[in-house]
């Protein structure tokens, strides 16, 4: 059966989210196609760049949320 690989398949492969047999089969398919291999290596590079990036809220935003939660808690007691 011929199966076309999708972006989702490549993501599953890159994040090692496939069973070992499926991983080996799909890696073979990717290695056999220059276009798929190029896309897969680009995806791995992008993941390596984005992985260390972390997001956190601004301190002001956290303060506003905390103040709002404190002021609304007294109303909930009524």
Q: Which two tokens stand for residue 50?
A: 């984005």
Task: Please tell me the predicted confidence (pLDDT) of residue 2.
Answer: 52
Instruction: Dig out the tokens for 11 from the structure.
Output: 């993501």
Q: pLDDT value at position 57? A: 85
Report whether 13 contacts 30 (CB < 8 A).
Answer: yes
1 belongs to a structural domain: no
- Count of structural domains, the chain: 1
Cβ distance 36 to 29 under 8 Å?
A: yes
Distance, in Å, from the CA atom of 30 to the CA atom of 9, rounded to the nearest integer, reads 10
**Is residue 2 a part of any domain in this protein?**
no
Mean pLDDT of 16-20: 95
Angle at CA 55, nearest 5°, toward 51 and 61? 175
Q: Which domain holds residue 30?
A: 7-76
pTM reported for the whole predicted model: 0.64
pLDDT per residue over 20-48, tens digit each? 999 999 999 999 999 999 999 999 999 99
Query: Is 69 contained in some domain?
Result: yes
């Amino acid at each position: 059966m011929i199966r076309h690989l999708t972006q989702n398949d490549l993501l599953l492969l890159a994040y090692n989210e496939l069973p070992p047999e499926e991983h080996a089969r799909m890696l073979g398919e990717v290695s056999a196609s220059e276009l798929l291999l190029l896309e897969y290596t680009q995806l791995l590079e992008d993941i390596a760049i984005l992985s260390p990036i972390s997001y956190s809220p601004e301190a002001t935003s956290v303060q506003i949320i905390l103040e709002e939660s404190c002021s609304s808690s007294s109303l909930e007691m009524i």
